[in-house]
């Protein structure tokens, strides 16, 4: 009878062993974890002559968490002096491959990079060598969720700081390399300690047992679970070497809860608690991470700082007692504060931008994008632009709400002026809220932001139109095919008789714009909009479209203005730059591409008019704030004040801002009193790059005389100057003929 029970028991244990061994083999020989895709911002590239100012590069280092020191020596440290930055660039695996840390000195003049030098050792002596280019590692933006609540960044054991491994082993399992997965000595020691205390004060589990529990078992407190845990620890220890087991533990250990996401592994834990890479943490910070293994909630350093400091100092004490650090370093370490970041976070949330990123992954990468495989996504986001846009929204929306007396929403899209790369995106008045993305999904009437496309269509016909062309500004009635009448009006309800074309654009007069659009022809205007990047199907072939009586998203508006602002070169707006798999293979990459969509001369003249909008037109408030930046822009207000728009252009970016209400009720704001104010707040924070437009061929400056009715007539010695596209030299010839005629009359008497 007894023998039968024993046999059954043995067979049961064998069966259990086979089952558990199968589970272990399946997990350890396959992919251990579902790894999220890590998302990075754009990388900043420095090279002599690059139009990157000293303060921009300094802000980049600060955004990346570099630490200011007197003498940079370690990765992630910098020293700033007048027009010079010395720093140790972190090692980073770019999409092209791994680059080691570099100790560099970058010098600037007032508007660009002057020189780059690297400290190297030659013949035992430190000296500087000149570099032609330097890439600064991109900021980690966050992760696209894998199909799991666990988040981690895998980092192999051999890249973990040795001080962290030492702290973990001396605290949790000092005989790790000696036992076979289960330590009888540790169990006995824990039993005695708990017996003396009359309660559980010490555990006897090895790191291998903890790994088995965390990876395969629940947290229930039962003898059966402990038996399975020990059994699996023995199997793991038998099948895999110690370094493999420790590698798995270092990346599996639970360290915090960030909302619905569990933070696993020391690499991600370092970013959660300190906002820095694991390799840059001091020994006291590493000791805190090792100490948190015992209970991340109980030792939560923000909630219980004294408790966490006590645990950290205990780990440091064990390290000095076991001669892992010396007495001097120990005393320095325990004297330090916890030095945490303000709050636990894995990254700043950019839900609108990530929404665009997911769409591009679906459209461009398709099945090559595998969730949970630890892919690395390189994007075009500029961390500084995103940060300043979010700050502007948080600052200005409550003020606009107060002014409008309504519950307002907003959207912001920022793109590189030349490349079309999306630098930032905000989808609502609460930038961190992942709700309806108004930047790419909200179709709203665009009002007067349509006008530059109409003026560009006219200026593309230089034999018919110029910036000085006279446009009628009188009451206008247009009749439809069925006899219906349309009576457009200027916003101020006034009429000026006639105005020059550039002034009609700068001051956003409706009647002159309609007259111009009808003279150009609706078909030509629509064709021009299509060339600028607007879907023809979105544009109704009706005269009212000349005043923006149709809907586009802020994203679509940005595309239209990017084409104009770049000299007529359309560059499709993109957020995704490259996708790299776990083996370092680039599985997708797209470089900025552009093509000439409209004549460069017509685009340049339109931008000239949009600069006049800032200096003397509807956006002159902006010129009061930044009079020397030569900014360009266009305000827009839809019917009954439902939508407030502003599109601003500096030398760096095209920025589209929309403000309105989701229920389409009036916002009580114009483009000038609403969206423009938010843009102004942003551009003041971002420090704009002056918009210097290189004058293209066949554009010349001509003199004009202002007539009594305020219109302009060409004159050889006029009071005003305006640029004009003169492909055949007719305007210049006209003036020459007048001078020749004058001289002939003068000397022929």
Contact 706, 617 (CB under 8 A): no
Residue 48 per-residue DSSP state: T
CA end-to-end distance (rounded Å), the chain: 145
Contacts of residue 130, defined as CB under 8 A and 6 or more positions apart, other chains included, come to 115, 116, 117
* Dihedrals phi, psi of 654, to nearest 5 degrees: -110, 125
DSSP 574: B
* Token duo for residue 518: 């009808």
219 catalytic per annotation: no
Phi and psi torsions of 443, nearest 5°: -90, 120
Q: How far apart are CA 250 and CA 278, in angstroms?
A: 12
Catalytic residue (choose from 77, 86, 137, 172): 172
Q: Which residues is 656 bridged to in the sheet?
A: 413, 647
Active site residue 672: no
Q: Which residue has the tokens 């005695």?
A: 192
Distance of CA 22 to the CA centre of its chain: 44
Q: What are the backbone angles phi and psi of residue 525, rounded to the nearest 5°?
A: -65, -45
Q: Which residues are within 8 A (CB) of 528 and not within 5 positions of it... i.e. 6 or more apart?
A: 453, 454, 456, 457, 460, 598
> Which two tokens mark 319?
């390290």
Q: What per-residue string of b and e applies to 44-75 under the rule 16 or more CB within 10 Å gives b?
A: bebeeebebbbebbbbbbebbbbeeeeebeeb
d(CA 742, CA 726): 23
CA–CA distance, 147 with 162 (Å, rounded to integer): 32
Q: What angle do CA 45, 50, 55 make, to 5 degrees?
A: 80
The greatest distance separating any two alpha carbons of the chain, rounded to the nearest whole angstrom, comes to 145
Contact 391, 685 (CB under 8 A): yes
DSSP secondary structure code for residue 405 in this structure? T
Query: Which residue among 448, 466, 577, 644 is the active-site one?
Result: 448
Quick one: which H or E segment has residue 411?
strand 409-416
Structure tokens at 132: 């032609």
Q: How far apart are CA 723 and CA 404, in angstroms?
A: 40
Catalytic sites, residue numbers: 172, 448
């Amino acid at each position: 009878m007894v023998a039968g029970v024993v046999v059954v028991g043995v067979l049961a244990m064998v069966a259990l062993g086979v089952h558990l061994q199968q589970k272990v083999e399946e997990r350890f020989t396959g992919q251990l974890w579902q790894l999220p895709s890590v998302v990075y911002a754009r990388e900043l590239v420095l090279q002599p002559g690059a139009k990157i100012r000293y303060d921009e590069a300094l802000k980049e280092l600060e955004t990346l968490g570099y630490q200011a020191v007197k003498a940079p020596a370690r990765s992630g440290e910098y020293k700033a002096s007048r027009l010079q930055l010395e720093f140790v660039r972190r090692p980073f695996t770019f999409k092209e491959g791994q680059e080691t840390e570099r100790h560099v000195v970058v010098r600037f003049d007032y508007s660009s990079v002057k020189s780059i030098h690297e400290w190297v050792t030659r013949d035992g002596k430190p000296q500087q060598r000149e570099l032609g280019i330097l890439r600064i590692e991109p900021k980690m933006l966050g992760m696209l969720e894998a199909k799991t609540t666990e988040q981690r960044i895998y980092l192999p054991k051999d890249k973990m700081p040795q001080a962290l491994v030492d702290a973990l082993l001396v605290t949790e399992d000092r005989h790790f390399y000696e036992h076979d997965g289960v330590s009888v000595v540790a169990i006995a020691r824990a039993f005695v300690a708990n017996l003396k205390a009359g309660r559980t004060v010490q555990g006897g589990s090895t790191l291998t047992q903890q790994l088995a529990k965390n990876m395969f078992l629940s947290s229930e407190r039962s003898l059966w679970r402990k038996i399975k845990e020990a059994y699996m620890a023995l199997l793991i220890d038998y099948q895999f070497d110690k370094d493999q087991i420790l590698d798995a533990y270092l990346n599996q250990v639970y360290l915090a809860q960030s909302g619905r996401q569990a933070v696993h592994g020391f690499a991600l834990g370092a970013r959660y608690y300190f906002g820095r890479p694991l390799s840059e943490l001091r020994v006291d910070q590493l000791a805190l991470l090792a100490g948190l293994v015992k209970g991340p909630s109980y030792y939560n350093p923000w909630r219980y700082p004294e408790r966490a400091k006590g645990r950290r100092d205990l780990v440091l004490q064990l390290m000095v007692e076991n001669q892992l650090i010396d007495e001097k370093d120990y005393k320095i370490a325990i004297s330090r504060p916890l030095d945490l970041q303000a709050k636990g976070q894995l990254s700043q949330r950019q839900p609108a931008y990530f929404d665009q990123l997911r769409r591009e992954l679906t459209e461009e990468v398709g099945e090559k994008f595998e969730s949970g495989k630890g892919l690395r996504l390189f994007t075009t986001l500029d961390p500084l632009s995103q940060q300043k846009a979010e700050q502007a929204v948080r600052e200005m929306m409550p003020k606009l709400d107060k002014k409008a007396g309504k519950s307002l929403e907003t959207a912001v899209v920022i793109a590189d002026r030349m490349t079309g790369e999306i630098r930032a995106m905000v989808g609502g008045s609460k930038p961190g809220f992942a709700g309806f993305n108004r930047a790419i999904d909200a179709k709203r009437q665009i009002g007067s932001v349509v006008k530059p496309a109409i003026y560009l269509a006219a200026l593309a016909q230089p034999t018919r139109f110029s910036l000085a062309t006279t446009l009628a500004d009188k009451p206008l009635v247009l009749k439809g095919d069925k006899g219906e009448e349309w009576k457009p009006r200027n916003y101020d309800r006034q009429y000026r008789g006639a105005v020059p074309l550039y002034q009609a654009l700068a001051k956003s007069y409706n009647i002159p714009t309609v007259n111009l659009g009808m003279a150009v022809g609706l078909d030509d205007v629509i064709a021009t909009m299509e060339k600028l990047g607007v879907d023809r199907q979105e544009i109704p072939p009706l005269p009212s479209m000349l005043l923006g009586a149709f809907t586009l998203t802020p994203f679509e508006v940005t595309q239209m203005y990017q084409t104009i602002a770049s000299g007529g070169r359309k560059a499709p707006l993109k957020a995704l730059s490259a996708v790299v798999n776990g083996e370092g293979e680039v599985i997708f990459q797209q470089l900025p591409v552009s093509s000439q969509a409209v004549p460069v001369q017509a685009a340049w003249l339109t931008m000239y008019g949009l600069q006049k909008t800032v200096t003397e037109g509807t956006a002159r408030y902006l010129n009061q704030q930044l009079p020397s930046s030569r900014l360009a822009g266009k305000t827009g207000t839809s019917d009954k004040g439902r939508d407030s728009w502003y599109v601003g252009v500096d030398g760096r970016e095209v920025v589209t801002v929309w403000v309105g209400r989701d229920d389409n009720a009036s916002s009580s704001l114009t483009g000038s009193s609403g969206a423009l104010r938010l843009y102004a707040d942003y551009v003041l924070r971002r420090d704009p790059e002056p918009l210097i437009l290189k004058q293209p061929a066949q554009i010349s400056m001509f003199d004009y005389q202002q007539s009594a009715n305020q219109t302009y007539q060409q004159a050889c010695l006029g009071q005003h100057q305006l640029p004009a596209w003169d492909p055949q030299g007719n305007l210049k010839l006209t003036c020459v003929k007048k001078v020749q005629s004058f001289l002939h009359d003068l000397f022929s008497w």
